Amino acid sequence: MTGSALQIRGLRKAFPKVVAVDGVDLDVARGEVFGLLGPNGAGKTTTLEIIEGLTTADAGDIEILGLTWAERGQEIRARIGVQLQSTSLFNKITPREALDLYGSYYPKRRSTSELLDLVQLQEKADAYHITLSGGQQQRLALALALVNDPELVFLDEPTTGLDPQARRSLWDVVRRMKAEGRTVMLTTHYMDEAEALCDRLAIMDHGKVIATGTPASLISDLAIPSVVELTFEGDAPEPAAFAARLEQAVERRADLWEIPTPDPKALLPRLLEAAESAAVPFQQVHIRRATLEDVFLHRTGRSLRE
Amino acid sequence: MMLWRQFAMEWRLYRRDRVAMFWTFAFPVVLLLGFGTIFRDGGGPKLSVVRVQAPAPGPQDTALDQALVDVQLKVQALPKTEAEARWSRGETAAQLETDGAGYRLRLNSYLMAQAGATAGLVNQAWLMAQARLNGSPEPQRIPVSVESPGHKHSANYAAFLLPGLLGLNLVSMGLFSVGMVNVSYREKGKFRRLAVTPLPKWIFLLGQVLHRLTVTVVQAAILLLVGRLVFGIENQGSFVDLFLIMTLGTGCFMAFGFALSGFAETSEGYAAISNLVFFPLMLLSGVYFTLDSAPAWLQHAVAMAPLAPFLRALRAVFNDGGSLAGHGAGLAIVAAWGLAAFALAVRRFRWA
Ligand SMILES: Nc1ncnc2c1ncn2[C@@H]1O[C@H](COP(=O)(O)OP(=O)(O)O)[C@@H](O)[C@H]1O
Ligand SMILES: [Mg+2]
């Protein structure tokens, strides 16, 4: 299982008011979990839907499993699995029926009971879709993306709107997919999810890929792999004067100041001394490793969560 | 095989949708039973008049009452208070009461068809009664009978209503079961989820269409059965003609639904558009009553819309045992609407 699962060059899609995808190049290797990380409106869904054959691009070339849509569309459909950003099923269809029905659309299929096991929906196999919890509905959508035993699976925001426990159980299913040798491409705007699940990532913003790499390399490529945080009671004060005194960039985020640094050990004594003499009313000091959040902040000047 | 699976799943899910089942199968039957029973007498074989009982009936009253019966009127003699109560409930078409030395006839402006005919008979009876009292020769009178145009039914309202409901079912099937459902599938992304599978889309749509067709057949069969068992209404024409015209109507209104669904982005938008089409069609096309007293321009307009000519031809076959041959122009209008809608549907239908 080596070689390329997906190769994209110069992908572009403009809507009347916005260029949703603006010259995207991506390579996904077979067997890896590849993430598209970016804030809402970055163009993740549009990119994915072009790859899935739902939207036509204005420009660009796509090769999926060595095939192109123009020549081998039906074969691509048979070999990929798709979970759309929102999957709408009939209110009164049961998971078992839905899996049987969608399975019947494919030449090759996995057994319904095996899939129900995989996403732990055996107990709910005969309950109406509308009675399932959000997490259960999402797991069913995942199982539906696997009915044809696909080589390449696309998951669009698989955990958005779920509680932490439901997210964890979904992550397990994704890891299982990888263990079974499938290639997975997913989108998310949660950086912890990207870090926990993805072998490699592309960070997207305003239709462009602004960085690609493994989560670890993206973070270590930051010249400033650590962040010192000063927390305040209530909103943090304006940091400009303090930043000038410290000769160091200070970001204000709600109730804290963030000070990125390559060398926290050297910064800390200076920081405490400066804070003391300026009578900064901070409560606590934390030192943490930089995260993908900081990578995004550093590249765009904005936070992922905005 | 794929088609069969799709069709079977449509039926299975449909059977779980109680609300749709009610509106599709039970509601038309409720309408037929309800209205058919309420208006059973109103359009019955005899015209009727309410006779307010005179406090002290004289020979003139006796002669008139006898004459009313002789002209084949159904006479309901009621005391004044009861007659007034019935009148104000709007159930009386014509009410005859003693007024001094003469009489007064009140006609219900809402029921002019019956009331007008009744007035003619009451006046005949009055001439007859006067002649009898005076001992002069009785005037010759022209006998009046109330019949359906094809002489087959006794002008039962249920018999008029049933074909109307058959037609209305087709319209609501097209506008709601087809049009509305397609808009909501598009809006909720069900079409998109299908589009990433290898299932050919035409199989999905054909499965849906076949399901709606069988629903329509079952629905019509239920109505016909209830009409026959409860009201004794039977198809007076040939079943081949009935089948042909129902097929034409089904095709026309189903195409309507597909076409209209291309004009709305959301379910709410579609609800507005479809109701704008549905209510005028339902109210003006002669489903429940004829438009004889409407202004001429409106009657002409309605005759060009698809439902009225469809119902006219359907009633000609079903109620009067006529053949479709005489309704070529009307059927051509229905077919033209169907073809126009189909062309529009092909152009406007969208999956996403
Ligand atoms: N069908 C569409 N018509 C017009 N604009 C669209 C459409 N789909 C997406 N967009 C716009 O394209 C941009 C990218 O959207 P999307 O791909 O959904 O982003 P993401 O999935 O990263 O949140 C957004 O500005 C969005 O408003
Ligand atoms: Mg999205």
Residue B231's pLDDT is what?
87
Query: For ligand 1, atom 25, which residue shows the shortest CA distance?
Result: A41
A135 lines ligand 1 (CB under 6 A): no
Written as six digits, the tokens of B297 are: 């321009």
pLDDT at B46 over 70: no
pLDDT at A1: 46
Same fold, A4-219 and A223-289: no
Task: Using a CB–CB cutoff of 8 Å, tell me whether B296 touches chain A.
Answer: no
> Measured between alpha carbons, how far is B305 from A18 in angstroms, rounded to an integer?
43
Query: A223-289 — its CATH code?
Result: 3.30.70.980
**Token duo for residue A270:** 């200076």
pLDDT tens digits along B185-194? 999 889 999 9
Residues of B in Cβ contact (< 8 Å) with A80: 196
Distance, CA of B270 to CA of B188 (rounded, Å): 14
Q: How far away is chain A from the Cα of B327, in angstroms, using its nearest Cα?
A: 43
Q: Is A280 in the pocket of ligand 1 (CB under 6 A)?
A: no
Q: Please give the number of the atom of ligand 1 that sits closest to the Cα of A21.
A: 14
Tell whether B17 is within 8 A of chain A (Cβ): yes
Considering only CB atoms, which chain A residues are within 8 Å of B13? 90, 92-93
Task: From chain B, pick out residues whose CB is under 8 angstroms from the CB of A78.
Answer: 198
Residue B119's φ and ψ, nearest 5 degrees, are -55, -40
Residue identifier of the C-alpha nearest atom 27 of ligand 1: A41
Between the alpha carbon of residue B239 and those of residues B158, B230, B245, the distances in Å are: 20, 20, 10
Q: Which of B75, B74, B85 is nearest to B53 (CA)?
A: B75
pLDDT of residue B351: 82
User: Per residue in B209-247, pLDDT tens?
Assistant: 999 999 999 999 999 999 999 888 889 889 999 999 999
A46 lines ligand 1 (CB under 6 A): yes
Residue B44 has pLDDT above 70, yes or no: no
Interface test with A, best of B184, B190, B192 (most A CBs within 10 A): B192
Ligand 1 near A44 CB (within 6 A): yes
- For ligand 1, atom 21, the nearest C-alpha belongs to A45
Reported as a single tens digit per residue, the pLDDT across B78-113 is 999 999 998 988 888 899 998 888 899 999 888 887
Report how far ligand 2's centroid is from the alpha carbon of A189 (Å).
9
**DSSP assignment string, B271-335:** HHHHHHHHHHHHHHTTSSS--TTS-HHHHHHHHHSSHHHHHHHHHHHHTT---GGGGHHHHHHHH
Chain A interface includes B193 (CB < 8 A): yes
**What integer pLDDT is reported at residue A9 of this predicted model?**
97
Q: Which residues of A touch B197 (CB under 8 A)?
A: 77, 102, 105-106
pLDDT of B43: 46
Complex-level ipTM: 0.84
Confidence at B169, pLDDT banded by 50, 70, 90? very high
Any ligand 1 atom below 6 A from CB of A208: no
Contact A97 B2 (CB under 8 A): no
* Res B42: pLDDT: 46
CB of A39 closer than 6 A to ligand 1?
no
Residue spans of chain A under pLDDT 50: 1
Domain A4-219 superfamily per CATH: P-loop containing nucleotide triphosphate hydrolases (3.40.50.300)
The CA distance from A113 to A120, in Å, is 10
Q: Would the CB of A186 count as within 6 Å of ligand 1?
A: no
Inform me whether the pLDDT recorded for B29 exceeds 90.
yes
Give domain limits for chain A. 4-219, 223-289
A197 against B114, higher pLDDT:
A197
Q: Give the number of the atom of ligand 1 that is nearest the alpha carbon of residue A46.
A: 17
Amino acid code (one letter) for B272: A
pLDDT of res. B155: 53
Q: Which atom of ligand 1 is nearest to the CA of A45?
A: 21
Q: Whose CA is nearest to atom 26 of ligand 1?
A: A41
Q: What is the pTM of this model?
A: 0.80
Asked if residue B152 has pLDDT above 60, the reply is no
**Phi/psi at A212 (5° precision):** -135, 145
